Amino acid sequence: MRNQAAEIRDARPAPAKRTGNAGSQSCPGCNSGDVSRVGAIPDAFEFAGTALDSPLPGGSLYRCKVCGLHWRHPQPDKCELDALYRKGSASSWQYHPVKRRDWQIASAIIRKHGDVATVLDVGCFDGRFLDHLGGGYRRSGIEVHPLAAEHAAAKGIEIVGRDFSDLDTLHPPFDVVVAMDVIEHVGNPRTFLASLARATRPGGLIILSTGNTATTPWRLMGGMYWYCSIAEHISFINPRWCEHAAAELRLSIEDLVMFSHEPAKATEAFIQAAANLFYRCLPNLAYTLRRFHALSQGKACRPACRTPPHWRSARDHLLVAFRVPAGDPRERVGQSAAESPHRAIGPIS
């Protein structure tokens, strides 16, 4: 499906779970040292839809036993990530609203509240979600991709920032702040959520959508799951993390919805599940069969044949709406602008 240009090392994972402390690792969110290594993540041969000259090491997937956060280690530093995002293919983040179940859920939540006048989309890309939401609101966005920001502005969306750090400079705050498929791109999701809270008016809503590590498919696949094998994805949450972060930041959870990004018929869902389980148990044989299939179709066998197959029909995503309480948001979350996450905004993946 994607043009890639190198071989990948054996993707056979380490044991699915290890007990005890994982060396010197600590949770990037709550700083707990009570973490475990879930397993190896396959190397990546593309980033944001663009083939890499050399493979990007996948590292390992870790899990915090205290807050539930999962994360990739090691991760590229910010300068490397910024450079990789700038080379990214815009076509990798093009979606039609009909295919975005999270957009539909978020729009319904926003529309049922009659007091919403202003909406900020963090990582808005070309403004398609805000355009889908409709023109009855003052719509603003934060977007790092210059061309995408221009397209969003052409839709009547005000671009108020280029990076996550801009969240702490926005005044007045917004009635609703959304971040769809963005939190998995940041190194510290808790700090990112705190910045979203500071950009939200007292009594307002924060709406996030992302993958959900608590689902059965993810637990079965571990570090080999398709969602965490995407190179630009570095942090992964779940309902337990949402509850833990909400308690720390004095937010309340108003809605928590599990959904599938691409619902499929039973036959297609069964094929995707079977392909993933086969890959999980026999990765080398799975690669060989995929290679022969590609050759039989007259196609080149790419390194992607060694990466996990997609399981997009799985109900492996969540959307959560946090309610911000009344009071001074900067006092509420107890963090300064200097503590905001300094990761580049990765466009929707």
Cβ count within 10 A of residue 135: 10
Nearest Cα residue to 103 out of 69, 82, 127, 80 = 127
- E strands, 41-111, in order: 44-47, 50-56, 60-64, 70-73
The confidence score (pLDDT) of residue 336 equals: 37
Q: Where are the domains of the chain?
A: 95-263+316-339, 273-306
Secondary structure letter of residue 212 according to DSSP: B
* Residue 252 dihedral angles phi and psi, to the nearest 5°: -120, 150
Q: How far is CA 56 from the centre of its chain?
A: 18
The residue that leads in pLDDT, 163 or 8, is: 163
CATH of 95-263+316-339, one of 3.40.47.10, 3.40.309.10, 3.40.50.300, 3.40.50.150: 3.40.50.150
**In sequence order, which residues have a C-beta less than 8 Å from that of residue 144 and are 6 or more positions away?**
85, 162, 163, 344, 345, 347
One-character DSSP codes across 257-280: EEE-SS---HHHHHHHHHHHHHHH
Average pLDDT, the chain: 82
Per-residue pLDDT band at 269 (split at 50, 70, 90):
confident
From the centroid of its chain, how far is CA 55?
21
Which residue stretches of 144-223 are H helix?
Answer: 146-154, 189-198, 216-221
Q: Which residues contact 309 (CB under 8 A, 6 or more apart)?
A: 226, 272, 275, 276, 279, 286
Q: Is the pLDDT of residue 259 over 80?
A: yes
For residue 3, name the pLDDT band (cuts at 50, 70, 90).
Answer: very low
Res 343 pLDDT > 60: no
31 has a pLDDT exceeding 90: yes
- Which of 153-167, 205-219, 235-249 has the weakest average pLDDT? 153-167
Confidence check: pLDDT of 12 > 70: no
pLDDT at 338 over 60: no
| Better-scored residue on pLDDT, 338 or 141 | 141
Tell me which residue of 68, 29, 109, 161 sits closest to 323, measured CA to CA.
109
* φ and ψ of 214, to 5 deg: -85, -5
| Distance of alpha carbon 38 from alpha carbon 118, whole angstroms | 41
The residue to which tokens 């307002």 are assigned: 204
Cα–Cα distance measured from residue 308 to residue 312, given in angstroms and rounded to the nearest whole number: 12
- Find out whether 48 and 89 touch, Cβ atoms under 8 Å: yes
- 41 — phi, psi (to 5°)? -105, 130
Q: CB of 26 within 8 A of CB of 33?
A: yes
Segment 259-275 shows an average pLDDT of 86
Q: pTM score, two decimals?
A: 0.82
pLDDT at 23 over 80: no
Percent of the chain with pLDDT over 70: 79
For position 308, what pLDDT does the model report? 81
CA 158 to chain centre: 24
Per the model's pLDDT, the better-predicted residue between 112 and 313 turns out to be 112
Look at residue 103 in the predicted model and tell me its pLDDT: 93
**Gap between the Cα atoms of 317 and 261, Å rounded:** 7
Comparing CA positions, the residue from 170, 275, 255, 259 lying closest to residue 210 is 259
Burial class of residue 98, CB neighbours in 10 A (0-12, 13-18, 19+): exposed
Q: What is the pLDDT of residues 149-196, one digit of tens each?
A: 899 999 999 999 988 888 988 888 999 999 999 999 999 999 999 999
Predicted confidence at residue 255, as pLDDT, reads 96
Query: What does the alpha-carbon distance between residue 21 and residue 150 come to, in Å, rounded to a whole number?
Result: 47
pLDDT in tens, 282-330: 887 877 887 777 677 666 555 556 678 888 889 999 999 999 998 654 4
Over residues 66-70, the mean pLDDT reads 97
CB atoms within 10 A of CB 60: 20
pLDDT of residue 197: 96
pLDDT of residue 38: 96
pLDDT beyond 70 at 332: no
- Per the model's pLDDT, the better-predicted residue between 327 and 51 turns out to be 51
